[in-house]
A and B are shown apart, each in its own frame.
Chain A
């Protein structure tokens, strides 16, 4: 039996070796060597240079803000969904997932058109006699793009966690004298922590590493660490520096995961 199971795992083992383990090793090789192939920490330490550090700081800040916004938007919705029954839930979730069926690039490009100086939104605003909105090519537009694209990844795990809470557990809290606010903070919120953790991870990690959203909505004015790494690979052709910075980013993601895991234990 055990032997059979091992056979079944073979395709995935092969896949992960080819496309996960080997590329990871290559990144570590490039990141820790210079062009001559000698060992160096320079590519890693390059994060300390002003431009890189600034991009990393900005990435951390914007993805943190986006994650918090997603959480604040998603939690009430997930609670409403979890409280509903059957068909209604399916329909609302479908509406939420529907945009995900369209190409990610296309949707972000659409926001570009909407937000442009002479774009649709400003057209409507000027028609109504209101001052134009100047958020394209700013951090605001990037946060908007992140929240828009990653919100479903927050809603779904929160919904799953909340739907799992037995109605009688909430009834028991009320029965023991807790009002709605006490029930929420002492029972519902703590019991939904697993959903919060996967939601936060699924929004924070892609937001931290994105370069598409910042390229399309931030113009060339707002550089994120993702853009810096992309440029090292595509424009500067410096794979060593690009890999080194990737490793630094990975370390930050691991720290994020450790922190959330610690919070879960609390």
Chain B
């Protein structure tokens, strides 16, 4: 892992008595693409604004490159932000927008001109210097907002739901563009989104947040395959979350049937939650399955069929490329390594905090 660049230490923040962030600590590394992911109101945007300097935390410290910048105003910080609705200066041309930060720093004109050319090339909008922001499409405006930020050579680029206002196709294109830009620039990106697909596609590290707490930090694969609690499992992709009992190491009882799994160390006869991704549920002949059920719903989704199977009192969500018609009796089978066991939270507080870092 690269060296640590930013440390958030025990950050708390409340607005009008409403706790938004509660004792949040987070380390961000050099050259990392980190995504803060969570539903609205989870504190992800507040975290970004604290990093940018637009919001002061009630308690806690922001350490940047070894220095405490908690009380440093935004214009003195070595990071730049790409705002949600672009926030371009509508009274200036594209070139003037991009040059804004450099002019403030009194850079020579030839340097500024070179930088504008370089930035427009990076975001694939060469020749747009004289245009006004209003004459550009949403996607183009977003690229200009990125260009305007990166000409200042920040060590960190903060992106606040930058693709939120774009349509699906453009959003997917921009995801690849962002990855390319990050690799070309070699700087840290901190990205805020509520879109799990965006987070999975682009990030090195995903921080899943809920109600002001970090729920899980990890690579996209580990977040998806090994969610640490029901919230993460539910928020990232579709999943079957079922209350179950851990009989012993590597054996779990789900809805009265015993399934082999790979997890150990949960104790014996311990109530747990299991997560099974819908694509990991196999439908087989009734007699071959661990439990039997009946298909109740069927929807064609393009790449796969989405089915619901009623089995032992639980409606299982199943994704499969093989069609099983409604009313058909099926058996359900799950491979041991596809069953993810999670500790049941014992109180609501614990549910919210869920993990310590």
Contact = CB atoms under 8 A, between A and B. Distances in A.
Interface of A: 166, 168-169, 171-179, 182, 186-187, 190-191, 193
Interface string B147-187: 01100100000000000000000000000000000000000
Q: Rank and list the top 5 A-B pairs by shortest CB-CB distance, nearest first.
A: A176-B101, A168-B87, A172-B87, A174-B74, A177-B104
Main secondary structure of the interface of B (DSSP, over half): loop
Contacts of B104: 176-178, 182
A186 B100 CA distance: 9
B239 to A, nearest CB: 35
Given A190-B91, A191-B91, A175 B80 contact: yes
A179 B75 contact: yes
Given A177-B101, A191-B90, A166 B74 contact: no
A168 B80 contact: no
B74 A171 contact: yes
Given A175-B80, A190-B91, 9 more contacts: A168-B83, A171-B52, A171-B54, A171-B74, A172-B89, A174-B74, A175-B52, A175-B74, A176-B149
A190 B149 CA distance: 21
B84 interface: yes
Contacts of A179: 75
Instruction: Identify the interface centre among A169, A171, A175, A186: most chain B CB within 10 Å of its CB.
Output: A175
A15 to B, nearest CB: 35
A166 B133 CA distance: 15
B85 A187 contact: no
B231 to A, nearest CB: 30
A182 B104 CA distance: 8
Contact of A176 (B73, B90, B91, B148): B148
16 contacts: A168-B84, A169-B88, A171-B87, A172-B83, A172-B88, A172-B89, A172-B148, A173-B100, A174-B73, A175-B74, A175-B75, A175-B80, A177-B101, A178-B104, A186-B100, A187-B89
Instruction: Identify the interface centre among B52, B89, B152: most chain A CB within 10 Å of its CB.
Output: B89
A169 B92 CA distance: 12
Contact of B80 (A176, A178, A193): A176
A177 B107 CA distance: 13
Contacts of A169: 87-90
B105 interface: yes
A230 to B, nearest CB: 42
Interface in B116-161: 148-149, 152
A178 B85 CA distance: 20
Contacts of A166: 85, 87
B306 to A, nearest CB: 39
Interface in B300-322: none
Contacts of A178: 75, 100, 104
A138 B73 CA distance: 50
A30 B43 CA distance: 71
B81 interface: yes
A77 B182 CA distance: 44
Contacts of B100: 173, 176, 178, 186
Interface in B274-320: none
A193 B101 CA distance: 22
A88 to B, nearest CB: 15
Instruction: Identify the interface centre among B87, B90, B148: most chain A CB within 10 Å of its CB.
Output: B87
A172 B148 CA distance: 10
A171 B85 CA distance: 12
A175 B91 contact: no
B79 to A, nearest CB: 8
A177 B73 contact: no
B50 to A, nearest CB: 13
